[in-house]
Amino acid sequence: MSESLDGLHPDTKVVAAGRPPRTPDGNLNPSISLSSTNHPGGPIGYGRFGNETWSALESAIEALEHGKTLLFPSGMAAINAIFDLLPIGSVLTASRNGYTGVMNILAARERNGQLEVRYVDVSNTTEVLAALPGTSLLWIESPTNPALEVADLPTIIPAAKSLGIGVAVDNTFATPLLQQPLDMGADLVMQSVTKYLSGHSDILMGSVSTKDEGLFSRLTDIRKFGGAIPGPFEAWLALRGLRTLALRFERAQANAMELAIRLQSHPAVDRVRYPGLPTDPHHATAIKFMAGFGAVLAIDVKGGAAAADKACESSKLVTYATSLGGVESLWERRHRWGSESPTIPVNLVRIAVGIENIEDLWRDIDQALRISQE
Ligand SMILES: *Cc1c(COP(=O)(O)O)cnc(C)c1O
């Protein structure tokens, strides 16, 4: 189906991809396919092997990420499927400040003796390149969650590939609207579809995309026999949400940029982390290849953890909750989770910017930050 979408812009693809064939009285949208088993002779066979509603969403993500795609029931299930590709004892390089869930499973897989991990600052290209020799996989999250560091993907990916090292990219913060790592040579790209792609904070889902037929077939078996499969209704909802991805993301990014600028001079803020700010240490890298800066920013609140907690508890419009990528703005002090990386400051508050009116957001964040200093 995606062949006919070649040449279209991503903001058209999100609307046009994953539609059923045009037949008289055929539906514009895929149906929610509820069947655990299938008549013989077709490509599916059984509900753990495939599903028509998954296929619709998979073909839409394929059109965006430029690689054959498999859905998983969460971003973490997708990431675990990627790590399951690695033989016992593999050595990998990974972002030191990455998503806490990933930091946790990497530590667990290290304790089990399954993997050995070299942690790097992904925004330090020299450090990343020095860590690569002798490893089998480079796991890059960029921009990182929650410190908003940016990896120089067009330099790092080809360098790893020239050493024969596999490259997998967590593209959740950027979305395929801002960067397409498979086109830069990465072997695998993953999404927490839970976030921007579905966009409404109502489902969990993950995806893995690849141009490599061999990897695709191994991942298909990992899903088929591992049994971590998404629900058809969740896949349908995610595709419905994907239709507005480009519009939602455009608005959320514009809000994030404006908030970042205003927060820079807020008396309750020590530091704003957002690659869109010209003064941000990651700006120069981001503008080289990213089509935008995303809709998550982070602030270091003056007065430490207690002040940061107070700010989060004092907002009325912005919701104090974890996660990101939905239409509604959320914020949280990341270290309220005991599992956050020790390299993340205790007063760092991540702001997942939504699509509300900017003045309403500003008024709410400003008043909450003022209360935090009382
Ligand atoms: C949320 C998130 C994940 C995990 O996805 P789930 O859908 O919550 O399992 C992985 N990576 C990043 C960058 C995330 O933000």
Q: What is the per-residue pLDDT across 22-64, written as a single tens digit (0 to 9) for each?
A: 999 999 999 999 999 999 999 999 999 999 999 999 999 999 9
Local structure of 138: helix, strand or coil: strand
- In this predicted structure, what is the pLDDT of residue 91? 98
> Per-residue pLDDT for 1 more than 60?
no
Mean pLDDT, all residues of the chain? 97
Asked if 299 and 273 touch (Cβ cutoff 8 Å), the reply is: yes
Span 338-361, mean pLDDT?
94
> Per-residue pLDDT for 2 more than 50?
no
Is 121 catalytic? The answer is: no
Q: What is the per-residue pLDDT across 159-182, written as a single tens digit (0 to 9) for each?
A: 999 999 999 999 999 999 999 999
Residue 35 structure tokens? 């069947």
Q: How confident is the model at residue 343 (pLDDT cuts 50, 70, 90)?
A: confident
Best mutation site among 71, 191, 192 for ligand 1, i.e. most ligand atoms within 8 A of its Cβ? Answer: 192
| Residue 61, CA distances (Å) to 46, 71, 176, 206, 213 in order | 23, 9, 9, 11, 16
> Per-residue pLDDT for 339 more than 50?
yes
Is 195 catalytic? The answer is: yes
- Which residues sit opposite 139 in a β-bridge? 94, 168
Distance 138 CA to ligand 1 centre (A): 18
- In this predicted structure, what is the pLDDT of residue 330? 98
pTM value is 0.97
- In this predicted structure, what is the pLDDT of residue 338? 82
Is 119 catalytic? The answer is: no
User: What CA–CA distance (Å, rounded) separates 316 from 208?
Assistant: 36
Q: Tell me the percentage of the chain whose pLDDT exceeds 70.
A: 99
